[in-house]
Amino acid sequence: MAVLIAKLVVAYLLGSLSGGLLLGRLRGLDIRRHGSGNAGGTNALRVAGWRFALAVVLIDVGKGALAAALGAWPSTPSPVDTGTAAAACVLAAAIGHCWPVWFGFRGGKGAATLVGGALVIAPSFAAAMFVAWILVIVATGYVGLATVVAACVFPLLVVGWDACCGDPGSGVSAFAFATAALVAWTHRGNLVRLRHGEEARFERARLFRRGGPR
């Protein structure tokens, strides 16, 4: 148990290393003071351009993957199997990303970090989630909505897989539902703005442009 707790603490601290805030410091920029006030990749794109945003996303995805690898690292004794430990560490990293100890507990929304973990824990499901994300983006232009839909697709995929093909793997089901819940919570402001017609669109990615606010 002590080893698992240590892994979770390390994963949280790793998650607290926010790509947007670390790279922003190198440029003398706190992206939380601009745009939406969020430290994630979407606001990084708005504030500092696609190259900066790409670097932010790669860091945030990478730390999710590292957290999964940390959790899966064999340790004896362990109260849970490696798959469950990997999922728990990814969630700890995502929590660190959202509420980073290094940056006053004000970070991003955790989606990229969760994707990084999903790429290690359940790569096929992660690919399907990415397809869902792209489809919603090109249909609506709403990045926040696309992220929430993709996260909610995850548990649906797991349930469907379990029904037709058997157990998707240790820890995957709990990880999928926790991912959907966390992403929905951190994007609740986006959903409220969407309901009131105030959510910003990413127009350059949107293919269907007739009707609706821009």
pLDDT of residue 212: 46
Percent helix, strand and coil across the chain, each to the nearest 5: 70, 0, 30
What's the mean pLDDT in 41-47?
A: 87
One-letter amino acid at 126 equals A
Whether pLDDT at 38 is above 90: no
The residue among 139, 172, 142 whose CA lies nearest residue 157 is: 172
Q: Are 140 and 55 in contact (CB under 8 A)?
A: no
Confidence class for position 2, pLDDT limits 50, 70, 90: confident
> How far, in Å, are 28, 37, 42, 149, 205 from residue 48 at the CA level?
12, 13, 10, 26, 18
Count of Cβ atoms closer than 10 Å to residue 126 Cβ: 19
Confidence class for position 209, pLDDT limits 50, 70, 90: low
Read off the DSSP letter of residue 83.
Answer: H
Whether pLDDT at 110 is above 90: yes
pLDDT of residue 200: 83
> Of residues 92 and 201, which shows the higher confidence score?
92
What's the mean pLDDT in 112-117?
A: 96
pLDDT of residue 1: 80
What's the mean pLDDT in 120-149?
A: 94
Whether pLDDT at 190 is above 50: yes
**What's the pLDDT tens digit per position in 51-97?**
999 999 999 999 999 999 999 988 766 678 888 999 999 999 999 99
> Of residues 28 and 9, which shows the higher confidence score?
9
Q: At what angle do helices 41-48 and 50-72 cross, to 10 degrees?
A: 160
pLDDT of residue 45: 87
What's the mean pLDDT in 24-35?
A: 89
pLDDT of residue 166: 79
Whether pLDDT at 214 is above 80: no
The length of the chain in residues reads 214
